[in-house]
Amino acid sequence: MSSTRDIDALIDLMARLPGLGPRSARRAVLHLIRKRGLLLAPLARQMQLVADTARECLNCGNVGTADICDICSSEKRATGELCVVEDVADLWAMERSGVFRGRYHVLGGTLSALDAVGPEELRIPKLLDRVHAEGITEVILALNATVDGQTTTHYIADQLEGRVRITSLAQGVPIGGELDYLDDGTISAALRARKEL
Amino acid sequence: MSSTRDIDALIDLMARLPGLGPRSARRAVLHLIRKRGLLLAPLARQMQLVADTARECLNCGNVGTADICDICSSEKRATGELCVVEDVADLWAMERSGVFRGRYHVLGGTLSALDAVGPEELRIPKLLDRVHAEGITEVILALNATVDGQTTTHYIADQLEGRVRITSLAQGVPIGGELDYLDDGTISAALRARKEL
Ligand SMILES: [Zn+2]
Ligand SMILES: [Zn+2]
């Protein structure tokens, strides 16, 4: 069926998105074809635009469309507070809570003996550099409350000990919970009640 | 945050896909940005291609990239059997089962008093035309085993009574079940065991 080959190829690509299997990819593609003027064509253009322009911030690891992201570029965000998160989804979750006014540092994961992820695989050396270079007075370790997240928190706290105030999110983050799943109020409460390590 | 506006716009478009909410749309977009060379750019191109070429078959309602789809164009599929389904996802499910060699007719829904869907809103007049024009000897009514699906089955059976053999899928379709959720083997069994109405 040659004329459906292009549609099958689109379904195969869609099925590679997280959370979509073959069946939901087929449903999504049929929906897109039905709304090809209102949704499929705009989505194609927006994807191409993002594919052409998106990049990771060379300083913090956030995604944006410039080499240095808006948060790192903004003098208003130079509060001396640096919030360390595992990935960009967590940074976005923090931003949605609207309570943090400093800058971020995205590690890109956690230390993991099992997966052979050491400090060099993450952005930990860059973090240590930034604490000096940007005159950071407080590092807020906002990693997930998982075993690997907490291992990473303690590793970074050891590295920075005596050089800067080190805090971590306290109240409201459930054991085993991931930041990106929490509501904004919970994140706000956890940030306000942060405690010294 | 001007440089993330394009990314936010992409998230908003993705969240309009069935099965994706705001959170899974954010996850999907982050995944796409990480794989912008291998997945995002090819997906954008394939979406644009399908947006430019996809259309509904003027004869049967299937989707493809020509005015008349491959199945309607193929003489091999002119077996005299016509399988009536609610939507294109059901046609695809039938094709995956690989057991049916005739042609299809996609109604585009079911009759529904509640939603004011009458025969003219579906492709029922076109179905009656095709039974004559294509020398159909058997109409297989493969609608979902829902109340509206069965109402539609009986309405079409009444319209065609005495003019053609009329059958429906029999074994294996669970009460309240929808074709697109069934495994291929169940669909095959139901087609083989189809019964006279
Ligand atoms: Zn940055
Ligand atoms: Zn057709």
Q: Specify the CATH number for the domain of residue A90.
A: 3.40.1360.10
What burial class does residue A37 get, using C-beta atoms within 10 Å of its C-beta: 0-12 exposed, 13-18 middle, 19+ buried?
Answer: exposed
List the one residue out of B177, B180, B185 whose CA is nearest residue B93: B180
Walk along chain B (197 residues) and give the pLDDT tens digit of each residue.
445 889 999 999 999 999 898 989 999 999 999 999 999 999 999 999 999 999 999 999 999 989 999 999 999 999 999 999 999 999 998 888 888 999 999 999 999 988 888 888 899 999 999 999 999 999 999 988 788 988 999 999 999 999 999 998 765 566 566 777 777 776 776 777 676 66
Q: How far does chain B reach from its first CA to its final CA, in angstroms?
A: 63
Residues B76 and B150 grouped into a single domain: yes
C-alpha neighbours within 13 Å on the C-beta side of residue B35: 15
Residue A107 placed within a domain: yes
Q: What ipTM was estimated for this complex?
A: 0.81
Closest-CA distance, B116 to chain A, in angstroms, reads 21
Measured between alpha carbons, how far is A159 from A25 in angstroms, rounded to an integer? 45
Place of tokens 């080190």: A166
CB atoms within 10 A of CB B96: 15
Q: Where are the alpha helices (DSSP H) in B40-146?
A: 41-53, 70-73, 88-97, 124-133
Ligand nearest to the CA of A126: 1
Residues A43 and A117 grouped into a single domain: no
C-alpha neighbours within 13 Å on the C-beta side of residue B190: 27
Place of tokens 């159909």: B136
List the one residue out of B71, B174, A23 whose CA is nearest residue B190: B174
Residue A174 placed within a domain: no
pLDDT of residue B121: 87
Asked if residue B97 lies in contact with residue B118, where contact means CB atoms within 8 angstroms, the answer is no
For residue B64, the CA-to-ligand 2 centroid distance in Å is: 8
Residues A132 and A71 grouped into a single domain: yes
Residues B70 and B123 grouped into a single domain: yes
Residues B69 and B152 grouped into a single domain: yes
Residue A29 placed within a domain: yes
Cα dihedral B175/B181/B182/B188 (nearest 10) = 110
pLDDT of residue A97: 82
C-alpha neighbours within 13 Å on the C-beta side of residue A32: 31
Residues A12 and A86 grouped into a single domain: no
- In order, the DSSP letters of A27-85 are HHHHHHHHTIIIIIHHHHHHHHHHHHH-EE-TTT--EESSSS-HHHH-GGG-SSEEEEE
Nearest CA in chain B to A2: B70
Measured between alpha carbons, how far is A74 from A96 in angstroms, rounded to an integer? 18
Residues B16 and B90 grouped into a single domain: no
- For A127-168, the pLDDT digits (tens) are 999 999 999 999 999 988 788 988 999 999 999 999 999 998
Whether residues B7 and A54 touch (CB distance < 8 A) is answered with yes
A 77-96 residues inside an 8 A Cβ radius of B: 87-89, 92
Closest-CA distance, B187 to chain A, in angstroms, reads 16
pLDDT of residue B2: 42
pLDDT of residue B145: 75
Residues A69 and A34 grouped into a single domain: no
Query: What SS3 state is found at B107?
Result: coil
The answer to whether B58 faces chain A, any CB pair under 8 Å, is: no
List the one residue out of A167, A153, A89, A99 whose CA is nearest residue A124: A153
The answer to whether B6 faces chain A, any CB pair under 8 Å, is: yes
Asked if residue A81 lies in contact with residue A102, where contact means CB atoms within 8 angstroms, the answer is yes
Q: Specify the CATH number for the domain of residue A47.
A: 1.10.8.420
The parent domain of residue B88 ranges over 63-168
Measured between alpha carbons, how far is B110 from B26 in angstroms, rounded to an integer? 35
Measured between alpha carbons, how far is B102 from B111 in angstroms, rounded to an integer? 24
Distances (CA, A) of B15 to A136, B10, B25, B28: 37, 9, 5, 10
The answer to whether A178 faces chain B, any CB pair under 8 Å, is: no
Closest-CA distance, A157 to chain B, in angstroms, reads 28
Residues A152 and A79 grouped into a single domain: yes
Look at chain A and report how many structural domains it folds into: 2
Closest-CA distance, B137 to chain A, in angstroms, reads 25
B 20-49 residues inside an 8 A Cβ radius of A: 20, 23-24, 26-33, 36-37, 39-49
> Which of the residues in chain A have pLDDT under 70?
1-3, 170-177, 186, 189, 193, 195-197
For residue B31, the CA-to-ligand 1 centroid distance in Å is: 18
Residue A182 placed within a domain: no
Residues A29 and A87 grouped into a single domain: no
Residues B68 and B164 grouped into a single domain: yes
Q: DSSP letter at B3? A: G
B 110-149 residues inside an 8 A Cβ radius of A: none
Q: Which amino acid is at B196?
A: E
For residue A59, the CA-to-ligand 1 centroid distance in Å is: 5
The answer to whether A68 faces chain B, any CB pair under 8 Å, is: no
In sequence order, which residues have a C-beta less than 8 Å from that of residue B41 and are 6 or more positions away? A47, A48, A51
| Closest in B3, B26, B92 to A69, CB measured | B3
Residues B145 and B67 grouped into a single domain: yes
Q: Give, for B195, the enclosing helix (H) or strand (E).
A: strand B195-196
Best mutation target among A46, A65, A100, A104 (most B Cβ atoms within 10 Å) is A46
Query: Taking each helix axis from N to C terminus, what angle separates B184-192 and B88-97, rounded to the nearest 10 degrees?
Result: 80
Exposed e or buried b per residue across B141-176, where buried means at least 16 C-beta atoms within 10 angstroms of its C-beta: bbbbbeebbeebbebbeebbeeeeebbbbeebbeee
Instruction: Give pTM, 2 decimals.
Output: 0.80
pLDDT of residue B1: 42
